[in-house]
């Protein structure tokens, strides 16, 4: 319900903002505000959750913010209201820190990656349901209908969230995490690596399907059904890949190989959008792109907390999500600026550059880890 409420309007958002009379650079600002708010508050929110040792209040706040954000969009008049609505959605998304940490706490520490794979499937499923409803609601009931539906579902989610019970915690965790432990968490090497990669991944994601790809489809004259089909073409392979990334791909090919393959395919598909002039070819790019992003995004999420104990996971997740929120902001903001001056395809070219940058980082991290492994083996051999 959390993700359905926030994504009932995402496929129609950039066309809706264009319908409201916003220029491409203003659309980029509105889209980017979602990530900018998260950049500011996700990390402090994670630290606060760890300090209090509580997750439920933040989940309640998230469901409430989901409903309010949808209602702000449908206030007529100034472009300030859509900006406020998208910023409120950023506040809502920031509380996902509490959702992920509470869910992970139901699993053993060594199963953190598996847990994040599970919750990634739920995330993508909710996003897909919301986005599939979007075009149908807009065509059948008017351009404001997706926002009204999102507000209703958010309200229902808020009522359900009242029944959540915090999982029991060991006695030593009940007083919250210390500031010295917080400093140790944010220096975790793996956390910083995957946060940087996730920043680039979300630049690509929020330039493409969650940004300007629907506007590209509208420029081709796509109907509401075709827009719905485009969403399904991206989200279904994304969900499928998310189900098997941690359990099948990563154990066989390794973390960095799996993540790197995802970035390579995503970069190629994003650049190819520049040369597509048919809605069916655009759909084909999104089938591959959805699968590719399902390879790396869930795996990065799991790795963010793999080396962190449960007491510090909200801090780690808050830092991780705050860093990738910079990509949610920077991606559409920079793409919107480029699109206004050089046309819609320039933003997709930028997205491709971000994807190839991430691929190079994966190669670098793989080589560094491989070098350390070889040195460890050599030292153990000498000690024998």
pLDDT in tens, 239-255: 888 888 877 898 889 89
pLDDT computed for residue 178 by the predictor:
58
What are the structure tokens assigned to 371, written together? 């070098």
Three-state secondary-structure class, residue 79: coil
Burial (0-12, 13-18, 19+ Cβ within 10 Å), 213 = buried
Which structure tokens are listed for 70? 């949808």
pTM of the model: 0.78
Give the alpha-carbon dihedral of 194, 118, 257, 210, to 10 degrees.
-70
SS3 content of the chain, % helix, strand, coil (to 5): 85, 0, 15
The secondary structure element, H or E, covering residue 341 is helix 313-342
Q: Along the 384 residues of the chain, how does pLDDT read in single tens digits?
A: 999 999 898 878 888 888 888 888 888 888 888 888 888 888 888 888 887 878 899 999 999 999 999 999 999 888 899 999 999 999 999 998 888 888 887 787 677 777 877 888 888 889 889 888 887 788 788 888 999 999 999 999 999 999 988 766 654 454 455 566 667 787 888 999 999 999 999 999 989 987 889 889 988 888 777 887 888 899 889 888 888 887 789 888 989 999 999 999 999 999 999 999 899 999 999 999 999 999 998 889 888 888 887 777 778 888 888 888 888 888 888 998 898 888 889 999 999 999 999 999 999 999 998 888 888 777 777 766
């Amino acid at each position: 319900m959390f993700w359905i409420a926030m994504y009932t309007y995402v496929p129609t958002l950039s066309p809706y903002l264009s319908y409201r009379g916003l220029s491409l650079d203003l659309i980029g600002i509105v889209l980017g505000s979602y990530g900018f708010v998260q950049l500011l508050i996700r990390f402090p929110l994670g630290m606060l959750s760890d300090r209090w040792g509580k997750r439920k209040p933040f989940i309640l706040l998230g469901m409430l913010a989901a409903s309010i954000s949808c209602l702000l969009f449908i206030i007529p008049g100034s472009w300030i209201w859509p900006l406020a609505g998208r910023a409120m959605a950023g506040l809502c998304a920031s509380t996902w820190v509490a959702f992920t940490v509470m869910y992970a706490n139901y699993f053993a520490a060594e199963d953190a990656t598996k847990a994040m794979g599970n919750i990634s499937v739920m995330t993508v499923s909710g996003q897909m349901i919301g986005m599939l409803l979007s075009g149908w609601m807009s065509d059948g009931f008017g351009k404001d209908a997706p926002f009204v539906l999102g507000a209703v579902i958010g309200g229902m989610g808020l009522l359900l969230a009242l029944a959540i019970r915090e999982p029991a915690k060991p006695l030593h965790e009940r007083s919250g995490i210390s500031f010295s432990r917080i400093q140790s968490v944010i220096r975790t090497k793996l956390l910083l690596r995957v946060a940087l990669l996730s920043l680039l991944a979300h630049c690509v994601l929020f330039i493409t399907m969650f940004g300007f790809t629907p506007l590209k489809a509208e420029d081709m004259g796509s109907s509401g059904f075709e827009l719905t089909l485009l969403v399904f073409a991206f989200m279904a392979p994304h969900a499928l890949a998310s189900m098997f990334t941690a359990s099948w791909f990563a154990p066989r090919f390794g973390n960095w190989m799996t993540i790197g393959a995802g970035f390579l395919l995503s970069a190629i598909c994003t650049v190819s959008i520049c040369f597509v002039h048919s809605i069916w070819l655009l759909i084909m790019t999104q089938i591959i792109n959805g699968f590719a992003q399902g390879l790396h995004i869930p795996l990065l999420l799991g790795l963010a907390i793999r080396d962190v104990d449960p007491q510090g996971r909200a801090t780690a997740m808050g830092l991780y999500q705050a860093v990738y929120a910079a990509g949610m902001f920077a991606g559409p903001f920079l793409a919107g600026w480029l699109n206004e001056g050089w046309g819609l395809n320039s933003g997709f070219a930028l997205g491709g550059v971000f994807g190839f940058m991430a691929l190079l980082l994966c190669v670098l991290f793989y080589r560094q880890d491989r070098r350390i492994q070889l040195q460890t083996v050599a030292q153990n051999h000498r000690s024998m």
